[in-house]
Amino acid sequence: MHAQFIHNDHLVNAMHTQAFAAISTSPGARAYYDELRSRDIDHADALRRLANRQAGILHGCLKTGTDYDEHTAWGTAASQLPHRPCPPPNRPLRSGSDHQAGRQHARKS
C-alpha cells in the first residue's frame, strides 16, 4: 500500500510560480536557489524547497506583524546586498477584529 499525498493543486501552482519569479527578482531567493542547485538538487526540487522557504518567511512576517525585509528573510545570502525596503501597501491591512466585524456586517445585509 502506498501513502496518499493530498494537496491543493492551485496552491502548489501559485507557490511554484511565485518561487520561479523570485529567482529573478529577489537576490536572496536567487542565492538560496543557486546554493541548492550547487548541491545537485534538480530544478523542480529546488523550486519546491524555495517555495517552502518563502511560505515560512511569509508565515513569520504574518505571525510577528513585521514587514518583509530581504536582509532579514535571507540572512547571509543577502548580507552583501544593498538595503531596499519594500514599498508600503496600497491600503492598510485589516486586523482580525475589523475583518470579523466586516463579515458580520455583510451577513446582516
21-61: per-residue pLDDT in tens? 999 999 999 999 999 999 999 999 999 999 999 999 999 99
Give the chain's domain count.
1
Burial of 48 (C-beta count, 10 Å sphere; 0-12/13-18/19+): middle
Nearest to 53 by CA among 103, 15, 7, 108: 15
Residue 65 covered by a domain: yes
Residue 20 structural domain: 9-80
Residue 106 covered by a domain: no
Residue 99 covered by a domain: no
Residue 76 covered by a domain: yes
* Spatial distance between the Cα atoms of 11 and 56, rounded to a whole number of angstroms: 15
Residue 47 covered by a domain: yes
Cα separation values, 12 from 1, 16, 17, 25, 87, Å: 25, 6, 9, 20, 27
**Global pTM value:** 0.65
Residue 97 covered by a domain: no
Residue 101 covered by a domain: no
